[in-house]
Structure 1
């Protein structure tokens, strides 16, 4: 393991070196030192080994810690290096630096107040290394599975299975609707999940065909079981889908044919395409034909507010990456809090995704969130089990006095 310590106090460097060697006693550790930011920048650029960790002090003469951070952000080859920032600055300054590094998308382990316990730095470093290893393994598995999948044939053979995840009113605990989640299935691979097949769908230009199939099957499920028409049906759609005139016509016709079904389209995709005139035209056509539009994964796009300004969304969904740990992550709590407040001022319904614990549910309720969705209530449910699940859920609500 190769570690660089950038700090202008020799005593701190020597203390940290000793503590690192104690913590990593069984590892082959090489520690490099720099006594100021400028020297640290030179070392990072010129060093011939791959650095596994850079520890950066903030306050230094001849190049401070921010200068080092800006250099790392300016060079894509350095962006993945884990960094730990150490400082004797006050808490608000440390929070500011944390926010700056997050915006710069560097691999931040944390911002730590002096005096430093190196265990606080090395423990998340080793955990992150394990997580990356597992992520690489997962990606390899995904790529291997993808290589063996004939997604075009599976779509042609209609090997599509839809599951539905409930959306729950946080105030009344009533079921508001269900989001459609798709799976493909073949004899060799069993269930194939979206992280595997959606990239193939995109690569092969099958987006519109796939979306049409999902919409048709979901509406058929709702039509076959009249009890389901009491609940909204939310279906994901991409901005790329909205450039297909034939698909838009199909959706509008479906809406007219199934007027008794409350259809919501959850819009995902990047801002690069969302403001094209053609896409906005399609959204306008859907809205005037009584099909509601929901903004999915709110907060993940830099241009999210442009979307809100341009399109009359009926609903925004807060991404689960902000919701799932908001009880322990103060930054995520603030993002969720401000999003809910914004939605209330705009008179837009807000849905929180990724609700997995009662603690998260309680915080969302206190903040005034309208609807929650996540494993606390149910994983995605196959259509054939929906009526039974609804009956069981309603019985449990009665038991608990909701």
Structure 2
């Protein structure tokens, strides 16, 4: 096993070599060393042209003079070395290590992990071995054209293929069911579901945003008319900022709302920095609000400019992004962010929905913070339309029993 160790401290390099040999005595190791990033980059650049890379593993310290770990990451990301398994080590705090991990993964490098000093070599070796095993066990697959692609997205986007699910929102303090967010899927007969992360980018590239949203709105409204009791709950439809640039779309939504005034429609705005602050977008939002269609700001906190939007647009609610919520009972920084958002919303008299609530612990934390509403897998995953009424009846029955029993 050929290993390149990059660290500016000689004794660290010696410890790594000794402990690797101890943890895997039956493995023949060949070590090469570098005391800085620049030397490591030179070594990596000297691979013979007839081989993709000359090392089975690179272990690199993050903080060094004459080329740090980031320099090595950048070099590997743009050369044949990008496939080499990479271990980053550092004495930095956990947040910094997470940042470096995110940066490395964004380059699609073969990252084994980011480990904090002092090093646990058995843990590192086990991670390397596990990654190697996964790679070897993965069957070689021929390249297939995705079921949903830029060539067929236009033909796939129709009422027959569109499939809607509904994820409930509850009032945290009482458990009362207050509404549902509509989530779309494409369902190709015989091939199963295609989820939004696969088809939404294709829809956007093809300029079909408005067509998709109109299909979702029409189908969801039809679902709400099937059962009178569904009209007790708010129906939230996602729209994108680019939707707001179409006058035809804006008028379509307003006409649908006026024709279905007995349904409590809400629009959840997934915004983008490029369009949300444009005059046309702001005018579109104003038209919706004037016509009694409340607006929710989705994924609040992800964009640095969300405070500007909260100041300029009278949103009815904001939805805290799930990345801040899903671990707030363990992540003190996320807990502080969520607390601040809730406090700000309360002062502005804006309702708050926490997305990504996956445990009772998280829901209890949100209750103590004064969060109004919650949504997430702890309450329920998205529900197919055909099961919606039975889920509602079951949920309400359990809630009544809970409160009846004190």
The question of a shared fold, defined as TM-score above 0.5 by the shorter chain, is answered with yes
CA shift for structure 1 position 173: 0.6
Q: For the Cα contact (< 8 Å) 2:158–2:215, is it kept in 1?
A: no
CA distance in 2, matches of 1:26, 1:216: 65
Deviations 1:296-324 (A, max 9, x none): 22233344334334433222222323333
Match of 1:290 in 2: 292
Question: How high is the TM-score relative to the length of structure 1?
Answer: 0.81
> What does 1:1-400 correspond to in 2, within 5 Å?
3-23=3-23, 31-40=31-40, 42-43=42-43, 49=53, 54-57=58-61, 62-63=65-66, 67-69=68-70, 72=73, 77=78, 82-87=86-91, 94-95=93-94, 97-98=96-97, 101=100, 109-110=113-114, 112-114=116-118, 116-123=119-126, 144-147=146-149, 150-156=152-158, 158-400=160-402
CA distance in 1, matches of 2:312, 2:234: 24
CA shift for structure 1 position 158: 3.5
Q: Provide the secondary structure at the position in 2 that maps to 1:145.
A: coil
- Label 1:382 to 1:53 Cα distance change in 2 as closer, same or farther (>3 A): same
Q: For the Cα contact (< 8 Å) 2:276–2:282, is it kept in 1?
A: yes
Out of 371-380 and 70-79, give the one that drifted further: 70-79
- Label 1:37 to 1:268 Cα distance change in 2 as closer, same or farther (>3 A): same
Q: For the Cα contact (< 8 Å) 2:62–2:88, is it kept in 1?
A: no
Deviations 1:202-246 (A, max 9, x none): 333322111111111111222332211111111111112111111
Q: For the Cα contact (< 8 Å) 2:168–2:181, is it kept in 1?
A: yes
CA distance in 2, matches of 1:15, 1:382: 56
Out of 344-353 and 33-42, give the one that drifted further: 33-42
Out of 228-237 and 70-79, give the one that drifted further: 70-79
- Label 1:288 to 1:24 Cα distance change in 2 as closer, same or farther (>3 A): farther
Q: Provide the secondary structure at the position in 1 that maps to 2:183.
A: strand
CA shift for structure 1 position 396: 0.8
- Label 1:83 to 1:280 Cα distance change in 2 as closer, same or farther (>3 A): farther
- Label 1:186 to 1:149 Cα distance change in 2 as closer, same or farther (>3 A): farther
The root-mean-square deviation of aligned C-alpha atoms, in Å, is 3.8
Q: For the Cα contact (< 8 Å) 1:73–1:104, is it kept in 2?
A: no
Which structure 2 residue ranges, 5 or more long, are not aligned? none
CA shift for structure 1 position 261: 2.1
Question: How high is the TM-score relative to the length of structure 2?
Answer: 0.80
Q: Provide the secondary structure at the position in 2 that maps to 1:240.
A: helix
CA shift for structure 1 position 52: 7.0
Q: Provide the secondary structure at the position in 2 that maps to 1:344.
A: helix
Match of 1:90 in 2: none
